[in-house]
């Protein structure tokens, strides 16, 4: 598979780079960003933190706003940020142009309903294709963790819970933990997955945590000033499900913080250090 390097920027002794490639999974060209810390070399392959962004975002939001690269350089951790959905002129989108469905809102699942099921396979892309690309082209190891924000927090939690052998740890900021019962999730799932709600549970962290056989270290930060807290996010649902299942979950409610990257940048160092403990 060929990669096209579209940008390169030196940062904290390492490199932030953007690439495009033709995705066999998504049937379109995709872009991702990677930060390679100064320790990365063919003789010293570094672990990877995969970051999944939220609604309307691209690979650029986290890399430019989170302030994560300096500590990643110190810790020797690569960061990979994919886009949030397939993109292109032929990609089906929300007919009304809404931000919470279609392009920019892939929800990290494998769609089963037409016309979405030709392109919207973000679950397979993140779990299978992208790591193969990264490990095949860059000086990184197969040791990895996963994190994300909002819709991306949903993706990080569900992917980790379904693939606990592939990741060392998982964290999230303001995740959609129970998408089957909130408007964002119900809209996306009914379109991508159809009306059989039993199939939705395969992408719901509250359902998945109840049957998890392997427990990964899990850290979640949630601002109590988040404008989406009560209608869309409902972290208390995941906390209750984890307690019932005996799953060790650290959920931190942060006073006054909202849903923005001001929140993420305030606590991203904690998450990087949390993952570093398990990646090393």
Answer yes or no: 154 catalytic: no
Active-site choice (16, 169, 226, 271): 226
Q: Which residues contact 124 (CB under 8 A, 6 or more apart)?
A: 25, 110
Question: Are the beta carbons of 111 and 8 closer than 8 angstroms?
Answer: no
Bridge-based pairing of strands 46-52 and 4-11 is unpaired
The CA-CA-CA angle for residues 102, 108, 113, to 5°, reads: 55
So what's the pLDDT on residue 156? 98
Active-site choice (154, 259, 271, 275): 259
Active-site choice (53, 85, 147, 150): 150
Answer yes or no: 230 catalytic: no
- Measuring CA to CA, how many Å separate 265 from each of 15, 115, 155, 214, 234? 20, 37, 20, 30, 22
How many Å from the N-terminal Cα to the C-terminal Cα in the chain?
29
**pLDDT tens track of the chain, all 280 residues?**
689 999 999 999 999 999 999 999 999 999 999 999 999 999 999 999 999 999 999 999 999 999 999 999 999 999 999 999 999 999 999 999 999 999 999 999 999 999 999 999 999 999 999 999 999 999 999 999 999 999 999 999 999 999 999 999 999 999 999 999 999 999 999 999 999 999 999 999 999 999 999 999 999 999 999 999 999 999 999 999 999 999 999 999 999 999 999 999 999 999 999 999 999 8
Question: Are the beta carbons of 83 and 30 closer than 8 angstroms?
Answer: yes
Answer yes or no: 150 catalytic: yes
């Amino acid at each position: 598979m060929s990669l096209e390097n579209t940008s390169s920027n030196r940062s904290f002794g390492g490199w932030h780079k953007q690439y495009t490639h033709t995705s066999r999974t998504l049937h379109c060209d995709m872009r991702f960003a990677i930060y390679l810390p100064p320790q990365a070399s063919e003789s010293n392959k570094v672990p990877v933190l995969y970051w999944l962004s939220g609604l309307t975002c691209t690979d650029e939001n986290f890399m430019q706003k989170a302030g994560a690269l300096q500590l990643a350089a110190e810790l020797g951790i690569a960061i990979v940020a994919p886009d949030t959905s397939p993109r292109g002129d032929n990609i089906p989108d929300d007919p009304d142009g809404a931000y919470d469905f279609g392009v920019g809102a892939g929800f990290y699942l494998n769609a089963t309903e037409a016309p979405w099921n030709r392109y919207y396979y973000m679950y397979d892309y993140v779990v299978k294709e992208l790591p193969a690309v990264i490990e095949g082209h860059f000086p990184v190891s197969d040791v990895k963790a996963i994190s994300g924000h909002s819709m991306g927090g949903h993706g990080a939690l569900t992917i980790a819970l379904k693939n606990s052998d592939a990741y060392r740890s998982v964290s999230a900021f303001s995740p959609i933990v129970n998408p089957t019962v909130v408007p964002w999730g119900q809209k996306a799932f009914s379109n991508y997955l159809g009306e059989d709600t039993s199939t939705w549970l395969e992408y719901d962290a509250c359902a998945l945590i109840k049957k998890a056989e392997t427990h990964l270290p899990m850290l979640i930060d949630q601002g109590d000033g988040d404008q989406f807290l009560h209608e869309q996010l409902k972290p208390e649902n995941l906390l209750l499900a984890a307690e019932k299942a005996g799953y060790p979950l650290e959920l931190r409610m942060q006073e006054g913080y909202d849903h923005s990257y001001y929140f993420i940048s305030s606590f991203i160092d904690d998450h990087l250090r949390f993952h570093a403990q398990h990646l090393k």
